[in-house]
Amino acid sequence: MTYTETKEQGENKYYYRVKSIRKGKKVDKQRVYLGGNLKKQELHEKEQEADKELENTKEKPAKNEEISKKPIKKSNENKKINTQGITAEKDDFSEWFTQIMLKADLADYTAVSGCMVFKPTAWAMWEKIREECDKRFKKLGVQNVYFPMFIPEKYLLKEQEHVEDFAPEVAWVTHAGNTKLSEKLAVRPTSEAIMYPSLSKWIRSYRDLPLKMNQWVNVVRWEFNNPVPFFRTREFIFNEGHTAFETEKEAIAEGPNILNAYKEVCEDYLAIYGIIGRKTEKEKFAGAIFSEKIHYIMPNGKATEGPCFHHDGQNFAKAYDVKFLNQNEKEQYVFQNTWAISTRMLGVMFAIHSDDKGLILPPKIAPNPIVIIPILSKEKKEEVLKIANEIKETLNEYSPILDDREDYRPGYKFNEYELKGIPIRIEFGARDLEKNEVIVARRDTKEKQSIKISELETEIPKILNEIQKSLFEKSKKLFKSKIKSSNNLNEIKEIIKNKEVGFTPMCNNPDCEAKLKSETGGAKALFIDNKKIQSEKCIICNKKADYFVYVAKTY
């Protein structure tokens, strides 16, 4: 049986579509959130959409299981996998990506569908991102804090636009042991609703402003879409910056500082090129006045959103009553911003740099950018090992791996570290030592060169630097090569079909964006460009365009 449930909270009404299935004495219920204070016609449309979704939900989680089961089986035969390398081509993105992250030992699955394990290499890279961002946030006067991960239901319901956006994905805690809680608690999908009631207590006067807080936390958004490790998981990890200001001007001025800090970390460490751009009204964060994000383009032509900055104006301040006495002794609401970078950036970096042989890591983010592989034979084994250890000592500041395992052949080891994306491999045997040389192989270009042992200390930093720079340049070239501009809808459709990104004039009517999506088989208006509109017409409705947008399918 399917029916609509109405819930009243003060003056607001919230609607849920419920499907109940009787199994003997038990009744199984599935709920889809429809929205708040809907008009009759709107409600009817949402009900129809929800019915379709309810029909599908049973099958979708099964698909998740399928993805998570397949690789677990394989990962039991770890050794075999590593010698096999990647069997998918980069064009088959999801298969290729899943293989890389499992075989390069970055992540794994558990019994919890849609959630993932970060293995040590991946986690170390996230720690680096966190460390570099934190340094920059602190320079901007931001302090780190920690708020509870549980949010009382009534707090979450306070900002309506916000709750509408998150409600269908919220995971709830309803019991402690066998005792039903008097009020159910949401596991944070984001923290505005738990932080801002505290701000309302803490901020009394203009002297308490600006207030700049940040927390590094996990959040849960229980999506039913197919999970992709690092890109879309039900639990993910990010920073949440929350700042409050006296004036709108000050609040808006924070945007470029934050976005540039993120951009710098992503460019300098992850070596990926992206563009900062404002989202359209339709695509902005629920509850924000405007949203700006850094956008990246992947080799398969799909775009992905990176770090974001939202200016929330006084929307949340009004919902959570964050007021203060201003310099004229008048009461006013604060102006607020929120901003974030998530573990998705690791996924973006892996996808952009890697190839059919496996992962390619930029030296500055790789926890161990160098591997030393001595080729051990019976003669002069001791001497080769001694030199290997000396080289390790010389390059100590890069935490090199010294692989002196004797039960693995050199070829096996080469493949393994190629798969894992280690930027530089140093290999040598007894014969190389006669010339006081080693062979240095680059992972990105696969070039090899002989270098005198005495010159490693000066040459290796140069090569690491070159790799870092060349990966960034390659990513920039990829981005630029994918953009194709056109004022014609049929051409834009072709561009999207060819796995590229369109650049086109549009008006700001959300209906045009919706139509663009259906016409192109799912591409959306990614962000607004700074280029000024002259007399161009909207590609969809043919009325005067408001701006140029990038059009792409996204992850």
Which residues of this chain interact with Zn ion, rule CB under 5 A?
507, 509, 512, 538, 540-541
Count the Cβ atoms, other than its own, within 10 Å of residue 492: 25
In the complex, what is the shortest distance from the CB of residue 506 to Zn ion, in angstroms, rounded to a whole number?
6
In the complex, what is the shortest distance from the CB of residue 251 to Zn ion, in angstroms, rounded to a whole number?
30
Secondary structure of 288-318 as H, E, C letters:
CCEEEEEEEECCCCCEEEEEEEEEEECHHHH
Cβ proximity to Zn ion: between 283 and 437 the closer is: 283
Strand partners, 304: 296
In the complex, what is the shortest distance from the CB of residue 541 to Zn ion, in angstroms, rounded to a whole number?
3
Residue 245's H or E segment, with its range, is strand 235-245
d(CA 275, CA 294): 5
Cβ proximity to Zn ion: between 34 and 512 the closer is: 512
Cβ proximity to Zn ion: between 499 and 515 the closer is: 515
Secondary structure of 359-407 as H, E, C letters:
CCCCCCCCCCCEEEEECCCCCCHHHHHHHHHHHHHHCHHHCCEECCCCC
Tokens standing for 282? 């339709």
Cβ proximity to Zn ion: between 451 and 489 the closer is: 489
Cβ proximity to Zn ion: between 460 and 516 the closer is: 516
Residue type, 122: A
In the complex, what is the shortest distance from the CB of residue 515 to Zn ion, in angstroms, rounded to a whole number?
8
**Strands of 179-187's sheet in order across:** 150-152, 179-187, 171-176
Q: Which of 55, 9, 14, 57 is nearest to 34 (CA)?
A: 14
Please tell me the number of Cα atoms within 13 Å of 159 on its side-chain side. 25
Cβ proximity to Zn ion: between 32 and 538 the closer is: 538
In the complex, what is the shortest distance from the CB of residue 531 to Zn ion, in angstroms, rounded to a whole number?
17
> What is 326-337 written as a DSSP string?
-TTS-EEE-EEE
Secondary structure of 538-552 as H, E, C letters:
CCCCCCECCEEEEEE
In the complex, what is the shortest distance from the CB of residue 542 to Zn ion, in angstroms, rounded to a whole number?
7
In the complex, what is the shortest distance from the CB of residue 279 to Zn ion, in angstroms, rounded to a whole number?
17
Cβ proximity to Zn ion: between 192 and 513 the closer is: 513
In the complex, what is the shortest distance from the CB of residue 179 to Zn ion, in angstroms, rounded to a whole number?
55
Cβ proximity to Zn ion: between 433 and 489 the closer is: 489
Q: Which of 159, 167, 153 is nearest to 46 (CA)?
A: 167
Only one residue has tokens 């009461």, namely 331
Cβ proximity to Zn ion: between 275 and 538 the closer is: 538
In the complex, what is the shortest distance from the CB of residue 509 to Zn ion, in angstroms, rounded to a whole number?
5
Only one residue has tokens 């992962």, namely 359
Count the Cβ atoms, other than its own, within 10 Å of residue 374: 25
